[in-house]
Each structure stands twice: as structure tokens, then as C-alpha cells.
Chains A and B, each alone.
Chain A
Amino acid sequence: MAFSHRVLPILLLLPELAVVGIFFLWPSVQAIGEAFQETNAFGLRSHFAGLANFQAALQGGYGQAIEVTVAFTVLTAVASMAFGLFLAVQVEQTGRWRTLYRTVFIWTYAVPGAVAAALWLFLFEPQIGPGARLLGALGVHWNFALSGPQAFGLIVALTVWQQTAYDFVFFSAGLQGIRTDVLEAASLDGAGPITRFWRVVMPLLGPTVVFVAVMDVLAALFGSFAVIDVITQGGPAGATTTLVYMLYRDGFQNGDVGLAGAETILLFVLAGILLAVQVRVLNRRAHYR
């Protein structure tokens, strides 16, 4: 902490805070207002509606959307972290091949979600998709447009395909930051590869694991919109309707401002809970560093 100015840091922060104010805080206040109001069909008049919008939001597919969102988030986060960490650990030990391997495992992260969805949509298109034919040959009656579990599985698999690469990058960076002399010391003390991994590498990787977990949860909760919109549009029968997709449909396709406002506030609450969890975990993990 070197400098003690009063005005300069505020000026330095001003552009960032201006954007935060206009495009984060103002919309948030607006959403709170809308959530408690009811606007008539012509959008001309609105009146205070109390909790009516929240009641409406919590009825209709909300319970299912929460189940879908939670299952999707847990499955994709756990699978991507496990695969990402496994790949990172393996690739770190390949010596001079490391850079090459990194390239072949990193690229899926950069593929736009909607584009990845297009590739997979073709791959698993029920009539001509090669993936669909392969599954058919294995005796699976494949049609994700009709089967909820198949649609959900497809979205999960595609998300893991992308998110593993992201986790792999951050785990690679984290592993590289672990000094080799620490590992050598553990090795001299008689620790085998498995003990070294769980007792030395994992604790030192703690902050990275937390960071990656947070990013995965955020990506799953909020980042899956493109994939769902291109492949399933939330169907069949709501099997892939997440909270964000439901909000999009209520707000933009059905044009229900009050309902969408209430759903936005519920998403804010969810985000707030995550934020609190994150702060707690980060504080607890801080002593490793």
C-alpha cells in the first residue's frame, strides 16, 4: 500500500464504477420496482401488486426449473473439475510434449456456446446424426426432441466438453505455480505419488480449486443459455428449462414484465447466496497461501 491520495484513486475507479452504476445497479433497482408492480396488457398503467408476481413466479414450472438448474450445475461442475484436474495432472508430467498437449485440450473452451451447440446438434440429430446412429446401433432409442432425460444428458455432455477445457487451463496454471522443491522434499520423506497428490498438491492447489468451482457454478447457472436455446429451447416438457431460460421466455416471449422482474429478483437472491458462500470459503482457504 504505497500511495495515499484521496482524489486520484476515485478518478481511476470512476470509469469502472460508472459502468457498474448504469448497467448493474440501475437495472437492479429497476427490477425490484417491476417485481412489485403489475402492468396492464397495454403497458400503460401499473399499480403496486405486493407479492403477487412472486407467487405467480413460484407457481408454474418454477420448482421443476430449480431442480433442472441444480442437477445441471452439480453434474457439470463436478464432472468438468474431475476431468480438468485429471488432464492437467497428466499433461504436466509429459515434459517437452506439454505445450502440444495443452493446445489439443485447450481449444474447446474457446468455441462459442452456440457454435458448439450447432456441432452437437448435427452430431446427435435423430435421423442423420452419426452420434445418434451409433447410439441406435447400441440399442438406444435416441430422440432428444421427445425424451427429457436424453435432452438433459445431451446438454450436460456438451457443457462438460467445453467446461473441462476451461478448468484444465486454470488447473494447469495452478499446478505450474507449485514449486518442484516442495514435491521433491515430500518425495525424499517417502511420500508416494498418490500421497504427494492428496497431501501436498491438493492443499497448495486449494485457492485454484475454489476459483474454478465458483467459475463452473456460475457458468452452469447462468452461461448455458446459448446451448439450450439452440438445441432444445427448454424442452421437451421443461426437461432443460433452467431458471435463466424460464426468465427469458417469460420476459421476452410472453412479455410479462412483473413476472420477469420477480424472477430476476429470485436470481439475484440465488447469486447473493453464492456470493456469501464464496466469501466464506475464500476466507477459510486463505491460510494456505
Chain B
Amino acid sequence: MRRRRRWRPGGRHVLLVLLAVFLALPLYLALVVATHSAASVLRGVPVVPGNQLGANLATIFGPGIPGTPSITTMLANSAVMALSVAVLKVVLSVPAAYAVTFFHFPGRRLAFALIFVTLMLPIEVRFFPTYAVTAHLSLLDTRTGLILPLIASATAVFLLRQSFRAFPLELADAARLDGIGPLRFLTSVVLPLTRPILAAIFVLEFIYGWNQYLWPLLVSSSASQATIVMGVKEIISASQSFAVPQWNLVMAITLVALVPPVIMVVLMQRWFVRGLMSGIN
């Protein structure tokens, strides 16, 4: 057989590690800055961690940066929002995807088309009229108004439909012959077998919910409704109004704000990739 030149595995590892380090630089820097005092950051950005992390965390969770909402409130609001969006998306998408995959009924194509259209209408496209509708329903500055407009999800319905379609039809036929109704078939056969994709959707949508910026910025006008992500810009400008810019506090807050979604994707990684596989292949 002809011998071929191959990538030496060593070379690949060197390249991948370098890339990983490069991608992580902004995060490392934030971590370092969050462990120093504001004055030492101003003197020259440090490259090794200092010992002020505790003090900085105590400041952001205690008095906070003047003129910004309390961090604990913002974190709680973000958590409620992300969990509600993730749970409600799954709760809405599962029956919808089940209906358009496993049933023959008049209007099936129309229903599917309606859901398909939402893929092209993310909140950034429809925020202006949606704001008017939300105001009309007296839902401005409420949790309901924050969450409901975000929970119809074409992506989730598609990923579920793809995974339902790969389902052995014999199972469904057998179930029908055994007199098992469609709802019991869904809960006792389909859902247990599609757990990875459900987990993947939950992760995707949790991150989607946590990371929302524009919609909360428009809807949640009072400090008690603010989320941590929408607060970032305000926090940065408040930190610049000091004689010494408080970048150390800003970085500490950004770290706190990125931990939940990052932990979520890292911990659920195995399920996440496996679930997506069943959804897109």
C-alpha cells in the first residue's frame, strides 16, 4: 500500500491548545482584573491574579455600583426568565412537533407554515410592533410581558420534528394496534426515547433566555425587573463616573453574569451534542 503523509497528532494538539488559549484570553483577563483594585488596573493592566477578588465580590453583592440595580435582584430576574423561557418552550414545542409529525389532519401544512415563519421573525425583527402589543395588553414591566413574546420557537419544533421523524413507525403502529392512545404513546414511548434532544433544547433555550438583551431593555423599565445582561451597559457607564474607572467591579459582574449559561453548556455538553445529532441528522 501507498504510504501517505499524515498530520502528526502532536502538531494538531499544539495548534488546538494555542487556539483554545487565544479564545480564552478575554475571559482570563477579566478574571485577573476582577482580582485587583481599580487603581492598580489603571496603573497598567495586570497579567497575574491579585488578592482583591473577595473584596470586589463583597462590593458588587453589597453596596454595588451606585445608580445600578442590585446584583442579586438582577440575577434572580435572569434566572426566572431563563428557566421560564426554557421550560415553556419545551412545553409548547413538544405537543406542537408531535402534532405535525404523527398526525394526519386538515390544516397540518398551514400550522407548520405558521410555525416555520416564526423562525424568520426573531424578537429583533418584530420588537417594535410587539412592544405596542405588549403595552396594549398592559404587560409592560411585568415578568409575563418579558417572557411570553419569547417562547414560540421554530428551532425547537424543528429539532423535535427531525428527531420524531427518525422514530420507527412500527412502534407507533404496534401501539395503535394495542389500543394505546396517541397521548399515552407520546408520554410513555416517544418522550423517554427523545430525552437527549429534550435536554439539548432545554440548554439552547436556557441560554437564549439568559442572554436576552434587547427585549428586557425595552420591557423591563423599573429597577426591580432588570436582568443582569440588560444591565451591563448601565453598569459600565456608572463605573466610568468614578475618578478611577471601576473596571475591576465591571469585570467581576460580567463574570457573575456569564457563569450560569457557560456552566450549563459545559456540564450538559455530552447530552447537548448527542441531542443535536439526533435533531440535525
Contact = CB atoms under 8 A, between A and B. Distances in A.
A9 interface: yes
Interface residues of A, number: 95
Contact of B124 (A17, A23, A222): A222
A121 B152 contact: no
Nearest to A15: B92
Interface string A80-97: 000000010011011001
Given A12-B95, A264-B129, A177 B281 contact: yes
B242 interface: no
**Interface magnitude class on chain B:** 35 or more
A169 B133 contact: no
Contacts of B106: 6
Contacts of B281: 173-174, 177, 207-208
B243 interface: no
Contacts of A106: 265-266, 269
A175 to B, nearest CB: 9
B129 A28 contact: yes
Nearest to B217: A229
B115 A207 contact: no
A180 interface: no
Contacts of B100: 9, 13
Secondary structure at the A interface, as helix, strand, loop or mixed, is helix
Interface in B1-56: 4, 6-7, 9, 12-13, 15-16, 19-20, 23-27, 29-30, 33, 41-42, 44-45
A24 B92 CA distance: 15
Interface string B128-145: 111011100100000000
A104 B15 CA distance: 13
Given A173-B277, A226-B213, A23 B133 contact: yes
B12 A93 contact: yes
A168 to B, nearest CB: 10
A146 interface: no
Secondary structure at the B interface, as helix, strand, loop or mixed, is helix
Nearest to A229: B233
A26 interface: yes
B93 interface: yes
Contacts of B15: 90
Contacts of A121: 236
Contacts of A34: 129, 132
Interface string B97-110: 01110111111100
A266 B182 CA distance: 43
Contact of B254 (A119, A211, A261): A119
Interface string A1-36: 111111011101101110110111111101100100
A204 to B, nearest CB: 9
Interface stretch (B60-68, B69-77, B169-177): B169-177
B280 to A, nearest CB: 6
Contacts of B201: none
Contact of B128 (A91, A101, A251): A251
A117 B91 CA distance: 32
* 8 closest residue pairs by CB, A with B: A177-B281, A2-B172, A27-B129, A226-B213, A12-B95, A9-B99, A222-B124, A112-B211
19 contacts: A5-B105, A8-B103, A12-B98, A15-B92, A19-B149, A19-B151, A22-B148, A34-B132, A93-B12, A102-B273, A111-B262, A112-B261, A114-B230, A119-B29, A119-B254, A122-B250, A174-B280, A176-B277, A261-B128
